[in-house]
A and B are shown apart, each in its own frame.
Chain A
Amino acid sequence: MSDTPCQRSLYQPFDCEIITVTDLTSAEKLFRVRRMDGLPLGHLPGQFVQVSLLGWGEAPISVASSPTREGAFELGVRNAGSLTSAMHLMQAGDTFGVRGPFGRSFDLQRLHGQDLLLISGGCGLAPLRSLIQYCEDRPDEFDQITVLYGAKSPGDRLFKDELAAWEASARFACSLTVDSVPGGDCFSGSVGLITALIPPLTIVPENTVAVVIGPPAMYRAVIAELKKKELGPERIVVSLERQMRCGVGKCGHCTIEHLYCCQDGPVFWLDEIEHLRGAL
């Protein structure tokens, strides 16, 4: 065997520096990050990176910002395991490694000119935000844009300021809900499951694409509601979360039958995966 095209090591991260860290909730933080070499990350909305912390390993994190926002990128990180809790201790000026961007992005061409129905639950707003920001920055590329977001409780909402801005923006129709309000909290918004936000919508199926990102339990319920609105699986986009270890289709931890979530996804058209076992 000869002349196999391997350039730099696939598994060697490049260094990034934290510009700012912001609390999103008690368990989630937003890291604003730039490459130390000054290059842009070069991602598209929907892609993810492998964050590398020496001594802790790597974890896949979706990019929460749009490439239209230059100079830095943002990662929303939930404190869920040993790496992410180590990351939560980091501050502005600290550095860590990144590989990527990896994976398939939202298909901006197929989304072009469509009504967009952007639905997310819980941490699913982080990856979806890259698309919402893109829509904000390129408003002419799309028709009506509706944002639906559900969180467990008011305190669990990510990006509270931006949610308020989107609610106020004329460009977006924005509906928010929470599953429940803990006793003692003062909350005036709507309470209920995210599925309840869909029936009241007027949807033009032949000119609409829905994007759904959320915890595993959310997909089936939301998709069922969308199908009631005559939206076909070729008009529904999902982004799936798996335990990618490598991000480049080798380690095998993110397979969905014959697909590799890290390469063939994480963004899928529903008709590509809804028949596959274990996908949703």
Chain B
Amino acid sequence: MIKLTSDQLDQFITSLAEMWEVRLPILLSDGTRIIGSLKDGPLALLGGAILSKPTAAFFPQHGTVFIATEDGVPESTDSLQPIFILGFTPRDLACLRFIDRFFADGFCDDLYFHQRKSAVVAGISGYCGPYGSLLAPAGGDCDLEFFWEGSSWLVIPYSSAGKALVAEFTDSAPPEAENRYRQAVMTPPDENERFLRRASELLRGNSVPDSFWVEIGDRCIACTGCNLACPTCTCFGVQDWRSAKRVERSRMWDSCQLDGFMREASGHNPLGSEAERSRRRIHHKLAADPEKWGEISCFLCGRCDAVCPTGIGIIAVARELVTRFG
């Protein structure tokens, strides 16, 4: 375990810029934190999860699928600089692990792995959550993890890429710092996690009446923010833009909260009501994904609850559901 002061961390980050496109938490002028580059503003490692999902580095809101020119030959994509990205909380890392698996399963999504496969992902944990709260360490799911123990950073490399990056440093963490880390690992799951698991059981047990989803649907303004903010939402739409000499096919984040998401040309729509769509949003994470992937695909990052204008993010819904139906 390596110990770095904030200054040493700054130097380390600066030193990466030659090899990597470095992306990390930055504070912007209006107080919003983003994953950006050092030229965007001051570094803002403390404060917990970034409102916009960090997985956008690999699956951006809008991305080109291909460009076909007049003679039909696809334009080649330019060479890329590998990304070093810091700012995934442990919950974000769980999300990343989930969508890594999703995009690799069966047919491998080369658009996603284009940047992903050469990227180095660094987690951030420790007493750097909102108001200094503890983010329990991920202990994996990334190349290396930065743990804020209150006054300095402990760096724990996991993968070979992560180890190579910090090879120049010696294991310098004092035992008491390592102890704080080990204690943090033992943090019990929080209350929201219990609500989520119980809500999942209720959904899988068919214990939630349809009337509940009608109520939730009534409160949804279909902003689609829940989906767009969610690091494990992977649905996309596809569009073609045709101009005189080229066609650009691109894909963009899509949302199951839109009536047009599943509507067929005939007008038939398996998700044709607000209630069905509201159910799908929660059910997919808490019941369908556990069935297919063996785990709940909400890792309680809190983003949908943060962006939802009407207070029906997944945590709020799970709590309401458990409170009402057991």
A residues sitting closer than 8 Å to B (CB atoms) are 1-12, 15, 54-58, 80-81, 84, 215-216, 241-243, 245-246, 248-259, 263, 278
Residues of A within 8 Å of B236, CB to CB, are: 245-246, 250-252
B68 and A54 contacting across the interface, CB-CB below 8 Å: yes
The 28 sampled A-B contact pairs (Cβ below 8 Å) are A1-B100, A1-B113, A1-B116, A2-B117, A3-B117, A5-B108, A6-B108, A10-B111, A11-B110, A12-B66, A15-B72, A54-B242, A54-B249, A55-B242, A84-B265, A216-B268, A243-B262, A243-B264, A245-B237, A246-B238, A249-B106, A250-B234, A254-B262, A255-B288, A257-B287, A257-B288, A259-B292, A278-B276
A252 and B288 contacting across the interface, CB-CB below 8 Å: no
B238 and A251 contacting across the interface, CB-CB below 8 Å: yes
Q: Which residue of A lies closest to B117 (CB)?
A: A4
B284 and A255 contacting across the interface, CB-CB below 8 Å: yes
B249 is contacted by which of A4, A57, A80 (Cβ under 8 Å)?
A: A57
Majority SS at the chain A contact face: loop
B235 and A253 contacting across the interface, CB-CB below 8 Å: yes
B105 at the binding interface (Cβ < 8 Å) = yes
Residues of B within 8 Å of A12, CB to CB, are: 66, 74
Shortest CB distance A65–B (Å): 23
Residues of B within 8 Å of A263, CB to CB, are: 106
Known contacts A54-B242, A80-B265, A243-B262: A252-B107 contact under CB 8 Å: no
Find the residue from B110, B247, B256, B270 having the highest chain A CB count within 10 A: B270
Find the residue from A7, A55, A216, A253 having the highest chain B CB count within 10 A: A253
- Size bin of chain B's contact surface: 35 or more
B235 and A1 contacting across the interface, CB-CB below 8 Å: no
Residues of A within 8 Å of B94, CB to CB, are: none
B292 and A258 contacting across the interface, CB-CB below 8 Å: yes
Residues of B within 8 Å of A3, CB to CB, are: 117
B249 and A278 contacting across the interface, CB-CB below 8 Å: no
B261 at the binding interface (Cβ < 8 Å) = yes
B161 at the binding interface (Cβ < 8 Å) = yes
B308 at the binding interface (Cβ < 8 Å) = no
B259 at the binding interface (Cβ < 8 Å) = no
A4 and B113 contacting across the interface, CB-CB below 8 Å: yes
Residues of A within 8 Å of B28, CB to CB, are: none
Residues of B within 8 Å of A6, CB to CB, are: 108-110, 113, 117
Shortest CB distance B73–A (Å): 11
Question: What separation, in Å, do the CA atoms of A7 and B107 have in the docked complex?
Answer: 10
Question: What separation, in Å, do the CA atoms of A57 and B249 have in the docked complex?
Answer: 7
B323 at the binding interface (Cβ < 8 Å) = no
Known contacts A54-B242, A56-B240, A255-B288: A11-B65 contact under CB 8 Å: yes
Residues of A within 8 Å of B215, CB to CB, are: none
Known contacts A241-B264, A251-B238, A252-B256: A4-B104 contact under CB 8 Å: yes
Q: Mark B160-185, 1 if CB is under 8 A from A, else 0.
A: 01000000000000000000000000
Known contacts A2-B161, A55-B242: A80-B266 contact under CB 8 Å: yes
B212 at the binding interface (Cβ < 8 Å) = no
B 43-86 contacts with A by CB, 8 A: 65-66, 68, 72, 74
B116 and A258 contacting across the interface, CB-CB below 8 Å: no
Question: What separation, in Å, do the CA atoms of A216 and B100 have in the docked complex?
Answer: 34
9 additional A-B pairs beyond A6-B109, A55-B247, beta carbons within 8 Å, are: A55-B242, A57-B238, A57-B239, A57-B249, A243-B264, A245-B237, A252-B236, A255-B288, A278-B276
B247 and A242 contacting across the interface, CB-CB below 8 Å: no
Shortest CB distance A27–B (Å): 11
Residues of A within 8 Å of B10, CB to CB, are: none
Residues of A within 8 Å of B40, CB to CB, are: none
B254 at the binding interface (Cβ < 8 Å) = yes
Question: What separation, in Å, do the CA atoms of A10 and B108 have in the docked complex?
Answer: 7
